[in-house]
Amino acid sequence: MSKFARHLSSLLFVAAAGVGAIGLPRPRAASALPTAASGSAKPETLSSVAPQTIENPGFPAASYYKPRSGRKMKPVIVYLHGRGGNPDEGCRQWAKVATEFGWLLCPAGQEDRGPGARGWNNDPVNSQKNVMGALNALRKKFGKKVQLYGNVLIGFSEGAFIAQNVGQREPKTFNRWLIVASCDRYFGYDKTVLHEARKKIKRVYLWTGEGDGVVKESQAAYEHLKAEGVTVKLNLAQGYGHEIPVATMTQNFRKVLRWLVAAK
């Protein structure tokens, strides 16, 4: 399939999907599920250090944290927030666990949804440009300390939709994925894109709360990736709904990121 045809297919998918049709689930009320952090260690908090920002021409500035240690080239862990999420706050959520493994880069969705809130406008085409622009800006600023290929892409909710689309179209840059609240439909109508990318994708981890409305869709995404020969794991996390488990980030994701980054 030509690049033009794929681009047209993406646009048709977005046009047909609309805001409601791709089924982005509404978050459950906080009281609907027990907290998985109860009875465990002291709940984690957001990073007390604010992220730095970097200009991303044509898009909102992106937030980032430097790796916790080391001066050599490090992988980049890119986090794509959910619809209406605050990019800085999302970056703070992931900072403590992600910076152990490399850079943390948090692009801001191009849709303004009110004070501090951003979205991706259900637009994987411009979102791909946004994400790649932020990564290239980080590389331009810090040079070869920033890894360009073999990076980790994380997405939550609408950010999962964008991550699954960007990941399958940029498998050399992002060949390791952590998708929170994945959905098989988020791969779009053109199934050849994932099929052609499958050999470049090293590892995928799907993390979905057991009480999330997309559990069945996450299971379908797992089976789809598995059928394509992609190394994939699925965790239906007990005690969670449609959420980022802020109080237990290290508990839930440290081993996951170690597994993803270790792939050769």
Partnered with residue 79 across adjacent β-strands are: 154
Residue 94 has pLDDT above 70, yes or no: yes
Q: How many CA atoms lie within 13 A of 52 on its CB side?
A: 9
**Nearest by Cα to 156 from 113, 109, 202:** 109
Average pLDDT value for the chain: 88
Residue 78 has pLDDT above 90, yes or no: yes
Is the pTM value of this prediction over 0.75?
Answer: yes
Residue 202 has pLDDT above 60, yes or no: yes
Residue 196 has pLDDT above 80, yes or no: yes
The two counts, helices (H) then strands (E), for the chain are 7, 10
What's the pLDDT tens digit per position in 217-254?
A: 999 999 999 999 999 999 999 999 999 999 999 999 99
Residue 32 has pLDDT above 50, yes or no: no
In this prediction, residue 44 carries a pLDDT of: 85
Gap between the Cα atoms of 215 and 209, Å rounded: 7
With the C-alpha atoms ordered 218, 125, 5, 167, is the resulting torsion angle positive or negative?
Answer: negative
What's the pLDDT tens digit per position in 113-135?
A: 999 999 999 999 999 999 999 99
Burial class for 220, CB neighbours closer than 10 Å (0-12, 13-18, 19+): middle
Residue 33 has pLDDT above 50, yes or no: no
With the C-alpha atoms ordered 121, 109, 26, 217, is the resulting torsion angle positive or negative?
Answer: positive
Select the CATH number that applies to the domain covering 48-261 from these four: 3.40.50.1820, 3.20.20.150, 3.40.50.1010, 3.40.50.720: 3.40.50.1820
